[in-house]
Amino acid sequence: MISDKQRKAIKRQQLQHRFHIRRCCSGRKINSITTVASINKSILKYGHRFTRVFVEFAHRVTPSCRVIGENPIIARFDDDGDVKSNPRIECETCSFNILPRSPVLLMQRNLLLPALGSDKIGTIVLDLDETLVHSSLGPPPPRYDFTVSRVMDGVMIYFYVFKRPGVDEFLEIISKKYEIVMFTAGHKAYASKVLDVLDPNSYISHRFYRDSCKKVRGDFVKDLSEFGRDLRKVTIVDDNPKSYSLQPENGIPIKPFYGEELWDRELMKLAGFFEKCDVFPDMRDAVYQYLGGSTKGIRLF
């Protein structure tokens, strides 16, 4: 038989043992929390340093590239989808930078033009589709001027191109006094082939494609200020006024051409305008008057 005294002694030993186990476990838990907190602090501390080092390293080793192709300083993209698909870079004038707090690479396109030739008095920027030509897909139409082709998804696709009446004479006339820049919202894969046929005499000095446009509220906009030209000496001709919405006073809207207007004389009217407008110190005043506005001083249109 166990006496009451022995029973109390056994119970006291059990209580001491339990207390000892709880104290040990509590200490281990505290030590674990302290260790985790220390690790997190180290990660945070050295993580910031690593980020700064990475950004600086990427900034230094990411190269700038400058490619000179058939035409100088032309940003060009190509694609393997249809004419409206996302482009694949072929060659371009670009530089890359990294935002201080982002790992994303940003591409900045340089649209600066070389110095204007001494024999040129200004710059005329032209659109392509529905301004100088009209292209159609599908079966051959009854009348067209030439075709261009490209492979899409392993299939050869043909574009039947109609030249706007007077386009050849128009380019020849304005090239005598003006620098001509082609700025189209079309992709290079299509537009460059059209231009190679349309402009065999290289009246067009520079070509820019969709990748050089800015996306503004869903529209492809052509920012003339990025050319580095005096905007008093720059005019853009486009069938879509939204494309020059950043410099509306520099733009001449032209009636869209769809290949059926054989009597169209819009380009020859513009040729006559550009022949006369050099008497204006600011071509924007000439554009305003040509479009029906009232200006003081010189009156030609």
Would residue 129 show up in a list of annotated catalytic residues for this protein?
yes
- Taking the C-alpha atoms of residue 225 and residue 73, their distance in angstroms, rounded to an integer, is 16
Q: Which residue of the set 80, 119, 127, 239 is catalytic?
A: 127
80-111 per-residue burial string, b: 16 or more CB within 10 A, e: under 16: eeebeeebeebbbbbeeebeeeeeeeeeebeb
Closest CA to 115 of 283, 278, 228, 231: 228
> At a CB cut-off of 8 Å and minimum separation 6, what does 145 contact?
161, 162, 163
Backbone angles phi, psi at 188, to 5 degrees: -60, -35
Q: Which residue of the set 78, 119, 129, 145 is catalytic?
A: 129
Compute how many other C-beta atoms are within 10 angstroms of the C-beta atom of residue 163: 19
Would residue 127 show up in a list of annotated catalytic residues for this protein?
yes
Instruction: Determine the distance from the C-alpha atom of residue 81 to the mean position of all C-alpha atoms in its chain, rounded to a whole number.
Output: 18
Catalytic positions: 127, 129
